[in-house]
Amino acid sequence: MNMSNNELLSAVFAELDDSFEDMKDWRRYMHKHPELSFEEVHTAKYIEEKLVSFGLEVKTQIGGNGLIGILKGAEKGKTIALRADFDALPIEDEKDVPYKSTKPGVMHACGHDGHTSALLGTARTLSKYREKIKGTVLFVFQPAEEKPPGGAKFMIEEGILDGVDYVFGAHLASEIPLGKVAVGEGYQMAAVDKFEITIKGHGGHGARPHQSIDSLVIGSSVVDSLQKIVSRSVDPLKSAVVTIGVFQAGSAFNIIPDTAKIEGTVRTFDGDVRDQVENEMNSIVRGITSAFHANYEIDYLRGYPALYNHKAETDTVREVLSDVFSKQDVVELEPTMGAEDFSYFLQEKPGTYFKVGSQNDNENTHYPHHHPRFDFDERALVNISKSFVKIVSHYLF
């Protein structure tokens, strides 16, 4: 018997609803057994076993601990990649729940266990309908999202996107109510860079400053001037952040220190602004240290690029998800200066990255991501899966 697309989607969605308890169990298992970035050996094996049991072709150890499940439909067509991350954070789990982390100082504080469980649920359900699929679905399970240079870069370098037409990712959002999804085109997350500046002066007695080159005073001038990059050098219609997080100098009240150390982060959207901030920083440090006859070193590390959602694919996702959640529940995604290495995927292929609400009336679901009490309404797992299925159906059913 032939099924219409609407009937097919209804059947798939019903199966996803029935899969909720399994997805919840998978999520809670991973929550109890978290692993840090680049150390996710056990988690990767757990995912592999699930994918094999679904009857999928599986490739492992891609770019480290990454792996993919491949679902080939009955007919040829486009290839859609869906991505979930599965690393945890170096944070102590402070929740009082049965699925609390069993590993001291490590927890899933950003929802990656949920992303993985939802994608597993998507993979299992779609694998039962492969005869209806006109094309290929690539289920990408990515390690090390939380730690630069990130797992996405290494997986892409090993060619996982070869032949892929579109790529999509979803993230749980504790600031968005359950039942809503946030979609937005253009720059949505910032490029994230880290810098370390070492000022090398000449220490001495605090009573004889004229015999010294005071690295602390020089460093203070550097910190003050760096704050003017955004306010006085960057186009005010473009976004940038320069934040100093570390300033270390000296160890005694009456000694002028030899060296001062400054560390911070730069966040930008526009690539030209990113270059501009780095160049201005070098110019400022070089000029100030030269004026005070000091030396310096700058270690500037470029992290993840800015995440850019492509217009056509974002418009498509907004439209198709309106059929799942209603137009009122598909809200506009608010850009943030946070970072996400899914940006590497979107540099290579058209697609979009959206957020799925996970907050309910219980205050336990209101904690921000990376908080030691972070948790979410697990019904959001089904919402991620339904979103992915609806996107796949648009291109491949």
Q: Which residues are catalytic?
A: 87, 145
Whole-number Å distance between alpha carbons of 59 and 29? 23
* CB environment 14-36: b (16+ within 10 A), e (fewer): ebbeebeeebbebbbebbbbbbb
Per the CB < 8 A criterion, the answer to whether 151 and 36 are in contact is: no
β pairing state of 166-177 and 351-359: parallel
146 carries a ligand binding annotation? yes
293 carries a ligand binding annotation? no
CA-closest candidate to residue 120, choices 9, 21, 26, 17:
26
From residue 389, alpha-carbon distances to 173, 180, 214, 252 in Å are: 19, 16, 62, 62
112 carries a ligand binding annotation? yes
49 carries a ligand binding annotation? no
Whole-number Å distance between alpha carbons of 378 and 358? 7
171 carries a ligand binding annotation? yes
Q: At what angle do helices 20-32 and 380-396 cross, to 10 degrees?
A: 120
Per the CB < 8 A criterion, the answer to whether 183 and 330 are in contact is: yes
Q: What's the CA angle centered on 117, arms 116 and 120, to 5 degrees?
A: 85
Per the CB < 8 A criterion, the answer to whether 201 and 215 are in contact is: yes
Beta-carbon contacts of 205 under 8 Å, excluding residues fewer than 6 positions away, are 211, 212, 254, 255, 256
Tell me how long the chain is. Answer: 397
Binding site for Mn(2+): what residues are annotated? 110, 112, 146, 171, 370
| Numbered residues of the known binding site | 110, 112, 146, 171, 370
